[in-house]
Amino acid sequence: MRASDGTVLEVFEWRSAQAIEQAHGNPAVLALWSEFEAACEYVPLSSLAEAQHPFPDFESLPP
Q: Is the pTM of this model over 0.75?
A: no
For the stretch 6-63, pLDDT in tens is 999 988 899 999 999 999 999 999 999 999 999 999 999 999 999 999 999 999 999 8
pLDDT value, residue 36? 92
Q: Where in the chain are the domains?
A: 1-63
Of residues 60, 9, 63, 40, the one with CA closest to residue 32: 40
pLDDT value, residue 11? 87
DSSP assignment of 1-63, as one string? -B-TTS-B------S-HHHHHHHTT-HHHHHHHHHHHHH-----GGGSGGGGSSS--PBP---
Instruction: Return the exposure string of 5-16: e unless at least 16 CB atoms fall within 10 Å of the residue's CB, then b.
Output: eebebeeeeeee
pLDDT value, residue 63? 82
pLDDT value, residue 33? 93
pLDDT value, residue 50? 96
